[in-house]
Amino acid sequence: MRTKSVLDCFHAHRLRLGGLVAVVLLSGVAPSLSAQTVTQIIAKVFVARGGLTKMRAIRSERVSGTISFGSEASGPFVVELKRPLKMHMTLTVQNQTMVRVYDGTQGWANNPFAGKANPEAMTDEDVQNISEEADFDGPLVDYAKKGNKLELVGRDKVEDKDVWRVRLTTKNGDVRYYLFDAGTFLLLK
């Protein structure tokens, strides 16, 4: 379960990074607050990130940072993605390093936190999870083709900012919520 939360943080970080680049590219352009449907909102989210054409033109990406599990443990992580569906991730906590690799078909991992120091082939369920994680564009781009469903839950507030609350249900039935700034359409949570 720790791995899934690391990757959820990773995908949220990727959305934030894309949003920051879009702010620089779109400086001074204020998107309309009148979006009413989830399709319109998601389209504006993509524009805020630079547009689908630019997003799809990126061939590889490397994200690094520090992950913490409460106040007890933290450490560096690096996730490298390459089209199509290739991923390499390392996470080091308390001098133990977990490595997860996916080549688009098969996956391997070690998990020293669970006593597995040597790489092993992933189970079918783990391969299914990592294939979603290796999806370079994330679950929102071409969401219907991927079998995901989006629903506009409505407007909300986050720290005095108006936000659009969008619920994503993956083809596997996992539910995630995204909170997009109603003015900039950048991901807040």
Does some domain include residue 74? no
Convert the pLDDT of each residue in 25-51 to its tens digit: 343 444 444 547 999 999 999 999 999
Number of Cβ within 10 Å of residue 18's Cβ equals 22
Does some domain include residue 115? no
Does some domain include residue 148? yes
Looking at residue 172, its pLDDT comes to 85
Work out how many domains the chain is built from and give that number: 1
Domain holding 169, by residue range, is 30-58+139-189
> What is the average per-residue pLDDT within 60-71?
90
> What is the average per-residue pLDDT within 175-183?
96
Looking at residue 12, its pLDDT comes to 52
Looking at residue 8, its pLDDT comes to 55
Percent residues over pLDDT 70 in the chain: 81
Looking at residue 141, its pLDDT comes to 95
Asked whether 81 and 136 are in contact (CB, 8 A), the reply is yes
* DSSP for 5-66, written as a single string: HHHHHHHHHHHHHHHHHHHHHTTT----S---SHHHHHHHHHHHTT-HHHHHH--EEEEEEE
Does some domain include residue 12? no
Does some domain include residue 21? no
- pTM greater than the 0.85 cutoff: no
Does some domain include residue 182? yes
Does some domain include residue 73? no
Inform me whether the pLDDT recorded for 146 exceeds 50: yes
Does some domain include residue 107? no
Convert the pLDDT of each residue in 76-114 to its tens digit: 999 999 999 999 999 999 899 999 999 999 999 999 988
